[in-house]
């Protein structure tokens, strides 16, 4: 019974305040991933030490943007995903020792 009363009270309050111009309900959606765009200018596959003393294969990709280039290491051999000298947009999950690739979109 208390839940029903609380729900009814909350709905009534929201209905009463809906006519007020000072009420705002909103929020931000965090996609949980990072994005980088640029022209693929360099690819290199290397073995990198992980935190447990083992090795993991990492593909280092350099993105040339309108400014300084940026290099990101993606887990695994991802060379087939990144065509050289092509503009791409990449979504990934940052991590150590490498980032988890989500998607690569070739733009041009």
* pLDDT score recorded for residue 22: 40
Q: Report CA 7 to chain centroid distance, whole Å.
A: 36
What's this model's pTM, rounded to 2 decimal places?
0.69
* Residue ranges of E strands in the chain: 34-49, 55-64, 70-75, 87-93, 100-106
Q: The domain 34-106: what is its CATH number?
A: 2.40.50.140
**pLDDT band of 9, cuts 50, 70, 90:** very low
* pLDDT score recorded for residue 13: 38
More confident: 65 or 104: 104
pLDDT digit string, tens, across residues 41-88: 999 999 999 888 899 999 999 999 888 899 999 999 999 999 999 999
- Residue spans of the domains in the chain: they are 34-106
């Amino acid at each position: 019974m208390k839940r029903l009363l609380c729900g009814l009270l909350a709905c009534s309050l929201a209905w009463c305040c809906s006519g007020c111009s000072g009420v705002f309900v909103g929020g931000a959606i965090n996609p949980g991933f990072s994005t980088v765009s640029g022209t693929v200018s360099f690819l290199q596959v290397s073995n990198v030490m992980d935190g447990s003393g083992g090795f993991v294969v990492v593909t280092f990709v350099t993105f040339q943007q309108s400014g300084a280039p940026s290099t990101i290491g993606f887990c695994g051999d991802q060379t087939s995903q990144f065509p050289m000298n092509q503009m791409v947009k990449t979504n990934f999950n940052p991590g150590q020792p490498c980032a988890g690739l989500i998607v690569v979109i070739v733009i041009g």
